[in-house]
Amino acid sequence: MQRVDRITISQSGRSYYWRTPQFPIPRQEIEASSANRHLVPANEAVARQLSDVRRGHVVRLGGYLIEARGADGWRWRSSLTRTDTGNGACELIWVEHLEVR
């Protein structure tokens, strides 16, 4: 198993960043295996479960990638690929169920 505890992840606004002094795994693997995911709970029960998730938990999500729209024409679309990076590469997920391990 590779050591990934040397990767520092931070968030600012709706963006996330990672950095590492030395790559413990290939850069492309870090980019394809990590993401900034914005979660929209489908109901109050899912919202409560999401609020109980803590650092270190392994979570399995079930739901759909979505596009959010506002009455004023505002739009926020989920990325549909795991190989993109940068602005617009995040996933927006309608979460219908989750499992915390």
What's the whole-model pTM score? 0.76
Q: Where are the domains of the chain?
A: 1-34, 36-100
DSSP labels, the chain: ----TT-EEEEETTEEEEE-SS-SS-HHHHHHH---EEEEESSHHHHHHHHT--TT--EEEEEEE-EEE-TTS-EEE----SS--STT--EEEEEEEEEE-
pLDDT of residue 63: 96
**Residue 11: predicted pLDDT:** 85
If you average pLDDT over every residue of the chain, what do you get?
A: 88
Residues 82-96 have pLDDT tens digits of 788 888 888 999 999
Instruction: Give the Cα separation of 77 and 89 in Å (integer).
Output: 10
Residue 57 identity: H
| pLDDT tens digits, one per residue of 44-69 | 999 999 999 998 888 999 999 999 99
